[in-house]
Structure 1
Amino acid sequence: MTHATLHYIADPLCGWCYGAAPLVRAARDVAGLDVAFHGGGMMAGPNAQPVTPQLRNYVMPHDHRIAALTGQPFGDAYFDGLLRDDTAVFDSAPPTAAALAAEALAGRGLDMFAALQVAHYVDGKRVADRDVQIDVAVDLGLDREAFAKALDAQAADVLMRHFRESRAWLARVGGSGFPTFALEIGGHIERLEPGRYLGQPDAWRDALRERLLSAQTSSSTQGDAGTLPQCGPDGCAL
């Protein structure tokens, strides 16, 4: 069978990535398709941002639009709590490290990433805080001590290398923002257009299945999957 991977380049503090979360869940239901997470580091390092009125006024209209387009819930604890907490800092590095720790520990990186998105956008929690990350991991069924150890093993230099590799993937597939999805089948890679599928995870799942079936049929009849056509530019910008 032709090997297929959906590369998912995203950031835990990207509202459009949260809007696309149902598409990630749907993709994971597709038999024969692996989903690989690449953390983009949108607000990591010098790009970490304190919560200010300016930040709130910038992100809120986008979040309302994301909710309207996708049906993804945003909680009052986020809008009226976290976004009004001027002591909070939005930093992508710690939650990304938590997702990588869950992956290293139990192959649960995507589950952790999704759970942290909910903790941020629905529950209004500070997902950069270690205690919050550990509690989320425990809620996923991971052992508290084992996860804490795996989290502490995520060295800063390793995390920064992960961000650089993710940005290299972004450049490789011609992506311009987060989330970017790229489908790799038999060594051939195409960037996908998720925008028209936002709020339609079943249609996205069916489209991915058709892609895999088409590639498998082509491989069995021609011996090579060929280069799949480009679908168009990304609709989800930074």
Structure 2
Amino acid sequence: MSKFVYIADPMCSWCYGFSAELRRFLQTQANAELDIIVGGLRAYNRQVMDDGQREMILEHWHKVQQVSGLPFDMTGMNRTGFIYDTEPVCRAVVTAKILADDMPSLAILDVFQALQHAFYAEARDVTDEKVLAKIASQALNAFDDSDSFDSESFHEVLTAPPTRDETRQHFEQVQRWGVRGYPVLLAVKNDGLHMLTSGYTKLENLQEAYQQLPT
């Protein structure tokens, strides 16, 4: 069994660009386990986006689109009064980890990538907690091929103080590790954690880095 730690933020455009490469890499690993730690790229931001910020972000998005070939709907950045706060979407990932702790770890990756797709490809407002609860619960049900999760229950846990605290703990852990940019993928080995990538990369580079690690 191969174990990995993924440090990322669903509203990080390079993390979205990396999503397909990460999925392909994990598919090459038998019974891969993935622990997702959310980074809080712009957590607790309270500033309404101005034109300068919008142009800077869209410039990054265009670069990611060119490199990755993934779909983008840029119109979401035109939302009036939009605040680019990544804490709620990170908290949705933490909520999924709490509610689906008995499911395979890749179920959480499905939630993470569903939130990414909703934001980047569908221009949905993933700072809205009700939107988050709907997207995440649907992703969990799709993974499990069931109706075990509902948006109301998900929303209840999403907005609970302990979930907010646990999300903050994720951010603090990332800071303690000294991570300053995303995505980061680490391999878990007997002698500790090994860096596979810090930043966007392709499948073949991940495979090469992994093959060079001690067994």
TM-score tier by shorter-chain length is 0.7 to 0.9
Equivalent runs, 1:16-165 vs 2, <5 Å: 16-29=14-27, 30-45=29-44, 47-75=45-73, 79-80=74-75, 82-106=76-100, 107=103, 108-140=107-139, 141=141, 142-153=149-160, 154-165=162-173
CA RMSD of aligned residues (A): 2.3
User: Larger radius of gyration, structure 1 or 2?
Assistant: 1
Which runs of no fewer than 5 residues in structure 2 stay unpaired? 142-148
- Following superposition, the deviation at residue 157 of structure 1 comes to 2.7
Contact persistence 1:27–1:33 (CA under 8 A): no
Which runs of no fewer than 5 residues in structure 1 stay unpaired? 217-238
CA 1:205–1:177: 2 relative to 1, 3 Å:
closer
- Following superposition, the deviation at residue 84 of structure 1 comes to 1.2
TM-score by length of 1: 0.74
SS of 1:89's partner is coil
Contact persistence 2:196–2:206 (CA under 8 A): no
Match of 1:5 in 2: 3
- Following superposition, the deviation at residue 177 of structure 1 comes to 0.8
Aligned equivalents of 1:32 and 1:209: distance in 2? 15
Equivalent runs, 1:161-172 vs 2, <5 Å: 161-169=169-177, 171=178
CA 1:125–1:184: 2 relative to 1, 3 Å:
same
Aligned equivalents of 2:209 and 2:153: distance in 1? 35
- 1:89-128 alpha-carbon deviations (Å, 9 max, x no partner): 1111111111111121124322211111111111111101
Aligned equivalents of 1:113 and 1:48: distance in 2? 23
Query: Runs in 1 of length 4+ with deviation above 6 angstroms?
Result: none
Aligned equivalents of 1:72 and 1:184: distance in 2? 29
CA 1:187–1:150: 2 relative to 1, 3 Å:
farther
